[in-house]
Amino acid sequence: MVPFLDLTRQYQRIKGEILSATQRIYEKGHFILGEEVSAFEKEFSHYCGVRYGVGVGSGTDALFLALKATGIGQGDEVVTVANSFVATALAVSFTGAKPLFVDIDPETNTMDPNHLELLLKRRRGKGSGRRIKAVLPVHLYGHPAEMDSILEIANRYDLIVIEDACQAHGAKYGKRKVGSFGIMGCFSFYPTKNLGGYGDGGMVVTNDKRYDQKLRLLRNYGEGKKYQHVLKGHNSRLDEIQAAILRVKLRYLDQWNEERRKKAKIYTERLSPLGVVCPSEKRGIHPIYHLYAIKTEKRDSLQAFLEAKGIETLIHYPIPIPLQKAYRELRYRRRDFPVTHRWSQEILSLPFYPEIRRHEMGEVTEGIRSFLRDG
Ligand SMILES: Cc1ncc(COP(=O)(O)O)c(C=O)c1O
């Protein structure tokens, strides 16, 4: 068996530190909004190169509360990408706003700035562009979106940019880390992420003090002083146990990201000569390989072949968000997103994480080699 991911191996590396960090919480008996969350907010926002961080209940909530903090709601529209995890669009829908989708760049799998510009031009031409308030690019698989172009276009159309960095902790675009480009950056600490807790969690990072303050209210029932509620807020807080675990793990994040990058290089060196399309890195971009996804026209039969050999793979994502049943009212069609549609048929995520063993990677690459030779 080659598992897609085995989180117990990471736990074994840091078991002692995790146990003493969590024991500290049990002995203190303080579980919500305490010292661990405050410290982690400082440490993680500092890591991202941003002034403030607000710990929330999940990555989905980070996106939802960030959008809500800007006042986006019913009657507004937010442009995002067709190829992402559904939560990106759900967060927009939760505010009452409507998500609009653009296609992705075939190489980076992230928002295609040309499609963004086309959509904005078309909407402005029809006079319906004023409803669009924000752009929500996604740094998918840990690969930064084309932030220079996206920010330039958003600026020209007077739109705010909020980043979905849920899969990209520590990825760099130029010299800066993702999450620091938009007015807010949103992260998930779902257990499988490059920086993951032992349950749900998320954070919004920002340089803007007003958003920091608004988010602190929004995540905690709109409570300013004790039992004084200045707005209708939510209950969405990162808890002390998760924060304590994440503080331990943050110390290893760069090392683990580097291990991922080295292992990605090995896969690419072995697989690209076989004719499968491997992830590529543009100059000045530093992806952190949350996933390692290849593309091949024979995806479905390759996946079945590997499965028969006990090698687990996954598809991120088999159905583009606008074509999901949940969004059928938007009436999008496949031809609206040719690249996303094509990749949804060809993309395959291989077993991949810092602790994956060399012989397991060898089994994966040998499996693909024999499929392509005989299949
Ligand atoms: C791109 C993207 N956006 C949003 C989310 C939502 O994060 P969470 O699962 O923590 O709610 C995820 C992760 O699941 C994600 O991968």
Question: 336 pLDDT band (50/70/90 cuts)?
Answer: very high
What's residue 374's pLDDT? 83
211-212-218-220 Cα dihedral, nearest 10 degrees:
-170
**Is the beta carbon of 196 within 6 A of some atom in ligand 1?**
no
What's residue 185's pLDDT? 98
Contact 102, 116 (CB under 8 A): yes
What's residue 224's pLDDT? 94
Of all protein residues, the one whose alpha carbon is nearest to atom 7 of ligand 1 is 59
**Is the beta carbon of 154 within 6 A of some atom in ligand 1?**
no
What's residue 10's pLDDT? 98
Contact 80, 99 (CB under 8 A): yes
CA dist 121 to 133, 148, 278, Å? Answer: 14, 19, 33
**Is the beta carbon of 138 within 6 A of some atom in ligand 1?**
yes
Q: How far is Cα 135 from Cα 154, in angstroms, rounded to an integer?
A: 7
Parallel/antiparallel/unpaired status of strands 176-177 and 172-173: antiparallel
CA of 263 to the centre of ligand 1 (A): 24
Q: What is the full DSSP assignment across 347-370?
A: EEEPS--TT--HHHHHHHHHHHHH
Q: Which residues neighbour 325 within 8 Å (Cβ) at sequence distance 6 or greater?
A: none
pLDDT(119) > 90: yes
What's residue 358's pLDDT? 97
Question: 341 pLDDT band (50/70/90 cuts)?
Answer: very high
The phi and psi torsions of 134 (rounded to 5 degrees) equal -150, 155
CA of 62 to the centre of ligand 1 (A): 9
Q: What is the mean pLDDT of residues 282-297?
A: 96
Q: How far is Cα 41 from Cα 11, in angstroms, rounded to an integer?
A: 23
pLDDT(125) > 90: no
CA of 196 to the centre of ligand 1 (A): 11
What's residue 220's pLDDT? 98
What's residue 127's pLDDT? 78
What's residue 41's pLDDT? 99
Cα atoms in the 13 Å half-sphere on the side-chain side of 238: 36
What's residue 124's pLDDT? 84
**Is the beta carbon of 88 within 6 A of some atom in ligand 1?**
yes
What's residue 316's pLDDT? 97
Cα atoms in the 13 Å half-sphere on the side-chain side of 71: 4
The phi and psi torsions of 34 (rounded to 5 degrees) equal -125, -155
pLDDT(58) > 90: yes
pLDDT(218) > 80: yes
pTM for this prediction: 0.98
Rg (CA), the chain: 21
Question: 40 pLDDT band (50/70/90 cuts)?
Answer: very high
Any idea which residue has 């994040």 for tokens?
Answer: 253
Contact 253, 246 (CB under 8 A): no
Structure tokens at 210: 């007003």
pLDDT(128) > 80: no
**Is the beta carbon of 55 within 6 A of some atom in ligand 1?**
no
Query: Per-residue pLDDT tens for 60-113?
Result: 999 999 999 999 999 999 999 999 999 999 999 999 999 999 999 999 999 999
Any idea which residue has 């010292």 for tokens?
Answer: 35
Give the mean pLDDT of the chain. 97
Parallel/antiparallel/unpaired status of strands 202-206 and 172-173: unpaired
pLDDT(5) > 80: yes
